[in-house]
A and B are shown apart, each in its own frame.
Chain A
């Protein structure tokens, strides 16, 4: 099931928009594919649709087995029949982001009318471009107004961008473990990841497919570093501590624990596994394109740095969620967002969930998150008089 080469686009359910998309950078993308999955049934009144926005390295396979990795959907614990985002009640749409590598138009796609891939020629995109691609898909499904937009991390940026770009398009927005701008620290981490990819001899200036290789080492290092930022010190200590690896396969190496290099500590072995699994499913050029899109994200930029102005007069109900041990998108930034929303007199709920699991908490077993998501959506439905 992992036989798909990392160079293959694969076959994913998608909609094609021949009119393309005008990007914020000024470039017109001549043709646009938006790969997506849906779950549940659209109601007769078409008022129960929720867009879920995936995080940086996620994809549209929210609540089903991933066709390439064979793993369960990345938010299967949150989305499904009877789950907090209940597919018996809501119609769920998740797209692969513009610039991604699971079927939506991105650097791995062929240039229109050509047998060439975009590669590093793919135009720079923004979070708003991603949202505008999603908007096209939503409208093409015959949906005039969404019930809600929900997303974590980069998905939360998209959710916020939805609220700012199409404020009359949805009743509620739920940004989780995210921020209204990418911080200097966020950008710094992204840059280290990009430099790791550039430094890989298999990078070949971004045209690696011509050599039938991928910059696997660079991409794996980028992923390993990023993965550390998704966890907390407590979570790493709890999971691995200073434990030294005791793999039976390594038993013949008598003094494994004294080796200079290699998988000495369990945490190293874990990160290497994360890195190697990642390069089988993710494209290096997508990594660059999407990290840049995140770096450019700043909702206040259009308003001379005044974030409340971005939300002025918004009719949307917000529920902002942060996690106490998330140091990548810390609670202080969520609080800054909440205060800006208050300043705009928006209807906002804000919960910080106590956990030691770090940024990745939004993907993990956090009963308080489940209760918050379920309760907020029910409350919005209640207010809107939805059955």
Chain B
């Protein structure tokens, strides 16, 4: 399991109901079932991964974030997880809305387009930046909706989501130290990880 998946697992209360959207090889749901006693299920777009997951006894359905979340009832889950996928969905705002409709919490990770290397490359070369994280040519990339950490926070404010926890994570999934300042995290964090709640469910502001 990737290190950032461990960080996600730590955000999830034991014994809860979890939907992992884009469950890949099923490592997270397997971990959540075995070690945290969760009723963890997956949705995965890649049929080979689905078959492999089901063949390992994991409850995974073939589907995708854009089209399949709408078919779940309200409050079906305690957590809905979307790992490193938000930038690749057709309608990120709608996907977030669906996640927080069917789940009490949403856990979202995405690559941060505000990272300094990307900014510098675009500034100096005038070409679409290519880095270890953003490594596909603009005409082939599935990442059609890149955003920065500050963009994402702005969207959460606009939609009225409560950011319960957030952290910057480096490419290996290790937690990065930029916790105090969103601006620094936005400059130096390669990946971002957010735990969101619906506004109505938020504790009163301290």
**Interface status of B54 (Cβ within 8 A of chain A):** yes
On whether the beta carbons of B76 and A353 are closer than 8 Å, the reply is no
Query: Which residues from 143 to 187 on chain B have a C-beta closer than 8 Å to any C-beta of chain A?
Result: none
Q: Which residues of B contact A371 (CB under 8 A)?
A: 51, 55
**Which residues of chain B from 1 to 55 have any CB-CB distance to chain A below 8 Å in the complex?**
33, 39, 41, 47, 50-51, 53-55
**Alpha-carbon separation in the docked complex, A345 to B75 (Å):** 10
- Shortest C-beta distance, A248 to chain B (Å), equals 44
Given known A342-B61, A380-B57, contact A351–B50 (CB-CB < 8 A): yes
- Cβ proximity bits A329-351 to B, threshold 8 Å, 1 near / 0 not: 00000010011101111011111
What chain B residues lie within 8 Å of A350 (beta carbons)? 50, 60-63
A342 touching B59 in the complex, CB below 8 Å, given contacts A349-B54, A351-B47: no
The majority secondary structure among interface residues of chain A is helix
Residue of B nearest to A320 (CB): B61
Q: Is B94 an interface residue (CB 8 A)?
A: no
Interface size of A in residues (CB-CB distance below 8 Å): 29
Question: CB of B73 within 8 A of chain A?
Answer: yes
Inter-chain CA distance A352–B45, complex, in Å, is: 11
Determine the residue in chain A with the shortest Cβ distance to B56: A375
- Chain B residues in 8 Å Cβ range of A319: 54
Residues B59 and A382 in contact, CB atoms below 8 Å apart: no
Q: State whether the Cβ of B81 lies closer than 8 Å to any Cβ in chain A.
A: no
Docked complex Cα distance between A211 and B71 (Å) = 56
List residues of A (347-387) whose CB comes within 8 Å of B's CBs. Answer: 347-354, 368, 371-372, 374-376, 378-380, 382-383
A342 to B55, CA, bound (A): 20
| Complex Cα gap A49–B181 (Å) | 59
A89 at the interface (CB under 8 A from B): no
Residues 53-84 of B at the A interface (beta carbon under 8 Å)? 53-63, 68, 71-73, 76
Q: Do residues B72 and A342 form an inter-chain contact, with CB atoms below 8 A?
A: yes
Smallest CB gap from B41: residue in A: A347
Provide the main secondary structure of the chain B interface. Answer: mixed
Q: Given that A339-B68, A342-B71, A342-B72 are known contacts, is A347 also in contact with B51, CB under 8 Å in the complex? A: no
With known contacts A352-B47, A371-B51, A317–B71 Cβ distance under 8 A: no
In the complex, what residue of chain B is closest to A370 when comparing beta carbons? B55
* B71→A372 contact, CB < 8 A: no
B72 touches A345 (CB 8 A): yes
With both beta carbons as reference points, the residue of chain B lying nearest to A350 in the complex is identified as B61
* Chain B residues with CB below 8 A from A376, complex form: 54-55, 57
Which residue of B has the minimal Cβ distance to A324? B47
Closest to A354 in B: B47
Within the complex, what minimum Cβ distance (angstroms) separates A312 from chain B? 10
Expressed in whole angstroms, the Cα–Cα distance for A343 and B56 within the complex equals: 24
B57 touches A338 (CB 8 A): no
Are A372 and B76 in contact, with the CB atoms below 8 A? no
Q: Which B residues are CB-close (under 8 A) to A372?
A: 51, 54-55
B51 and A342 form a contact (CB under 8 A): no
Assess whether B57 is in contact with A351, with CB atoms less than 8 Å apart. no
Residues in A whose Cβ lies below 8 Å from that of B60: 349-350
Of the residues A343, A351, A378, contact of B71 by C-beta under 8 Å:
A343
Bound Cα distance A230, B153 (Å): 53
Interface centre among B55, B60, B71, B76 (most CB of A within 10 A): B55
Q: Is the CB of B57 within 8 A of A375?
A: yes
**Min CB–CB distance B63 → chain A (angstroms):** 7
Mask, B128-146, CB within 8 Å of A = 1, is 0000000000000000000
Q: Which residue of A lies closest to B19 (CB)?
A: A342
List of B residues within 8 angstroms of A344 by Cβ = 73
The chain B residue sitting closest to A317, CB to CB, is B59
**Nearest-CB distance from B55 to chain A (Å)?**
3
Q: Is the CB of B73 within 8 A of A343?
A: yes
**Closest partner residue, chain B, to A371 (CB atom):** B55
**CB distance A368 to B51 under 8 Å?**
yes
Q: Is the CB of B58 within 8 A of A379?
A: yes
Top-6 shortest CB links A-B: A379-B57, A375-B55, A350-B61, A371-B55, A339-B71, A349-B54
14 interchain pairs, CB-CB under 8 A: A338-B63, A342-B61, A348-B61, A349-B60, A351-B62, A352-B47, A352-B62, A368-B51, A375-B54, A376-B55, A379-B54, A379-B57, A379-B58, A379-B59
A residues near B, CB below 8 A?
A: 317, 319, 335, 338-340, 342-345, 347-354, 368, 371-372, 374-376, 378-380, 382-383
B interface residues with partner A (beta carbon < 8 Å): 33, 39, 41, 47, 50-51, 53-63, 68, 71-73, 76
Known interface pairs A338-B63, A339-B68; 11 further A-B residue pairs with C-beta atoms within 8 A, sorted by A's residue number: A343-B71, A347-B41, A350-B60, A350-B63, A351-B54, A351-B62, A368-B51, A372-B51, A375-B55, A379-B54, A382-B57
